[in-house]
Amino acid sequence: MEWRILALLPAYLEREGSSLVYMAQQLIAACEDPLSGTYLYKYAELSTVLERSEREGKKTLLLGVTFALLDLAEQFPQPLEHTVIMETGGMKGRRPEIVREELHAVLKNAFQVDKIHSEYGMTELLSQAWSTGDGIYRCPPWMRVSVRDVNDPFSPVPEERTGGINVIDLANIASCPFIATQDLGRCYANGSFEVLGRFDHSDVRGCNLLV
């Protein structure tokens, strides 16, 4: 594999059984790059590797949880011409929640990139939707997203109107495949969707915060 994979996933690395850490470790093993790896709070070390990747012109994927990417952006801002930044969401109680558009603006400014890639998933789902920029997510064929009225959960919302996000994930064959989330979003005619934020006063979510 021609990519270097750098995973900044401290909240997940501190706990066992994370599917996101497993995915990152599989990608790291597949690329067979000696500088690829997972990081806890080693921001300085990670910044040094990023600088080397830029000097080498090495295609690099920086996969990170939201609060850690913001920490890196504040402490070690630098232009990343050859690096794709992918945030996986989640403040994990470390920072105040902000809307994704604001988050991406901060990261784009700190790292001088045009787009921030993103993952949309949650502990209740086996599947994820992915965005290659502009905050537009696309699902795998066995996953569907729709939007409901915020005041009437049985009323669907027309395309391009804001409402609560519902997810059908057929990969959840041994559990509940229908999830009514507390996320706000919009759906589009081609099956893609946006995530705009959270319902007011909704619970903090995340596989390490549920207990």
* CATH at 188: 2.30.38.10
> Which residues form the domain of 143?
136-198
| pLDDT over 90 percentage in the chain | 60
Count of structural domains within the chain: 2
Task: Residue 79: name the closest of 99, 101, 55 by CA.
Answer: 55
How many CB atoms lie under 10 A from the CB of residue 148? Answer: 17
| Poorest-pLDDT segment among 4-8, 100-104, 115-119, 185-189 | 100-104
The answer to whether residues 48 and 75 belong to one domain is: yes
pLDDT surpassing 80 at residue 110: yes
Domain match, 142 and 106 both = no
Tell me: do 19 and 79 sit in the same domain. Answer: yes
12 plus 53 within the same structural domain: yes
Residues 6+ apart with CB under 8 A from 147: 156, 157, 161, 162, 163, 164, 165, 166, 185, 186, 187, 193
Q: Is the pLDDT of residue 202 over 80?
A: no
Pair (49, 18) in one structural domain: yes
User: What's the pLDDT tens digit per position in 61-96?
Assistant: 999 988 999 999 999 999 999 999 999 877 655 667
- The DSSP secondary structure of 126-188, one letter per residue, reads S--EEESSTTEEE--TTEEEEEE-SS-TTSB--TTS-EEEEEEETT-TTS--EEEEEEEEEE-
Q: What is the pLDDT of residue 211?
A: 39
Confidence band of 4 (pLDDT split at 50, 70, 90)? very high
Let me know if residue 79 belongs to a domain. yes
47 and 105 in one domain? yes
The string of pLDDT tens digits covering residues 135-165 is 899 999 999 999 999 999 999 999 999 999 9
For the chain, the straight-line distance linking the first and the last C-alpha, in angstroms and rounded, comes to 38
Of residues 89 and 193, which shows the higher confidence score? Answer: 193
- Looking at 120, 152, 184, the residue that finishes a domain is 120
Shared-domain flag, residues 14 and 110: yes
| Residues 108 and 188 occupy one common structural domain | no
Q: Where are the alpha helices (DSSP H) in 113-164?
A: none
